[in-house]
Amino acid sequence: MNDLEQIISQEIKEQGPITFYRFQEYCLYHPLHGYYNSSRHKIGKQGDFYTSPSVHPVFGETIARFLLQKWEEIGKPSVYTVVEYGAGTGNMAHAILSEVARCDSPIRTVFRYCIIERSPRLRSIQQEKLQGYPVSWIHSPSEIAPFDGCVVSNELIDAFPVHLVEKTKNGLQELYVDVDGNRFFEKRGDLSKPEIEEYISAYVPHLINGQKIEINLDALAWLAEVGQSMRCGHVVTIDYGYTAEMLYHPSRIKGTLRGFRQHRLIENPFESPGETDLTHDVNFTALMNYGESIGLETTFFGSQAEFLIQAGILERLSVNEGNDPFRDEVLKRNMAIKHLILPGVMGTAFQVLVQQRINV
C-alpha cells in the first residue's frame, strides 16, 4: 500500500466502511498525497490528460471575446469581474488576460480577474505564470459579492467527489468502500444522506435493477454559491457530460466513473489512489433545472464546437499557413482550432452550458 492507501485503510478499520465520496475526496484532495496536490505532471503530453486550454491559447482568446460580448450585453458595468474556478496551470487565465490587454475596448480598464483554486500546488503554478497580470486569488465568490460579470470553469464539475448509488430489487443502495487486507472493495449500504434520494427524485429518470450512477451533490452546492454571489452576468460551464436522459440510459448501466493515468483509461477506481485522476460525466440537466430554480436562466447548451464557433473562433483561422507544424505559428493555431471543434475530438467530447442572471 502507498501512503494514501494506508491512511484510508486505517480510517476504515477504525470507523467502518466510508462513502465513495469520502474515498474520492482523499484520492483527489488529500493535502499531502491527493492527486491535485501531488508534484506529478497532470496536463499535456507528459501528464495524464489534455484540456482545451492546454491545446492552444486560441481557446482562451475566444473565451475572452465571448466575455467582451457579454460585458456589453449586461450594460457595460463599471467593474466586470471574471471568476475562474479550478484554473489548473493557468493557461486559460493567461490567454484571456492577454487577449483583453490587446483588445481595443474600454473593458480593459474595468476588467477584474479572480481565481478560486483548491490546490495549493496549482495555485503556486498559477501565480508564477500570471505574474504581471491583474489577478487575485480568493476562497469564495462571497468575498466579492455582489458582483457583475462571469463565472467560468473548464473541467471543474467532473472533479467533484460523488456518491455512488445502485438500483437494486430492494430499492436504492449506496456503495461504500471497505478494505480486506491490502484490497479496497465496494460494499452496499443505506443511503448516507437524504439529499441523495432527493437528487435522484428530481434529476434522475427511471433506473433499471443493477444500474449504478454517480450523484454529484457538490455541483448543486457550487451553483448555489455562485448564484448567491452574482448580481448580474453569466455562468459558463465546460465539461464532459450529457442530459439526464442520455447520462442515465441503461447502456451506461455501470455508470461513468473512471480514472486516467498517463493518457490511459483506468476502469478500477481503487487502482493507485492519489496517482490517478478520478472523473465522471456531468448531469447537465441537474445544473440547468436547479439553476432555473435559483434564478439562472439557461441561454445556451450544446457542444464545445457549437459554442466556440458562435463565439467567433473560425475568424481566427488563416489561409496563410506555412508547412512546418512545429515552428509555424499560423499553422499551429489552425490545427488547434480544428482539434477544438472537430467531431470525435474535443469539439463533441465536451459540452458547454451558459446560464444568465439578470439584475432585478
Instruction: Give whole-number Cα distances, 323 to 12, 57, 319, 331, 337, in Å.
Output: 58, 20, 12, 7, 17
Q: What pLDDT does residue 320 have?
A: 66
Look at the chain and count its residues: 360
Q: What pLDDT does residue 187 have?
A: 97
Q: What pLDDT does residue 165 have?
A: 98
Strands in 86-229 per DSSP E: 111-116, 135-137, 147-154, 163-168, 171-180, 183-189, 212-215
Q: What pLDDT does residue 239 have?
A: 97
pTM of the predicted structure, to 2 decimals: 0.94
Q: What pLDDT does residue 329 have?
A: 86
C-alpha cell at 34: 491527493
List per-residue pLDDT tens for the chain, 360 residues long. 899 999 999 999 999 999 999 999 999 999 999 999 887 655 555 555 678 999 999 999 999 999 999 999 999 999 999 999 999 999 999 999 999 999 999 999 999 999 999 999 999 999 999 999 999 999 999 999 999 999 999 999 999 999 999 999 999 999 999 999 989 999 999 999 999 999 999 999 999 999 999 999 999 999 999 999 999 999 999 999 999 999 999 999 999 999 988 768 998 999 999 999 999 999 999 999 999 999 999 999 999 999 999 999 999 998 765 566 556 888 889 999 999 999 888 999 999 999 999 875
CA distance 175 to 189: 6
Q: For residue 211, give every residue at least 6 positions away whose Cβ sits within 8 Å of its Cβ, in sequence order, or none.
A: 166, 167, 248, 250, 253, 255
Put residue 337 in one of left, alpha, beta given phi > 0 → left and psi -120 to 50 → alpha.
alpha
Structural domains of the chain, with CATH: 52-107+130-150+217-242+282-355 (3.40.50.12710)
Peptide bond into 146 cis (omega under 30): yes
The b/e string for 281-290 (b: 16+ C-beta within 10 A; e otherwise) is: bbbbbbbbeb
Beta bridge partners of 354: 236, 300
Please name which of 276, 350, 256, 280 lies closest in space to residue 36, comparing C-alpha atoms: 276
Q: What pLDDT does residue 256 have?
A: 97
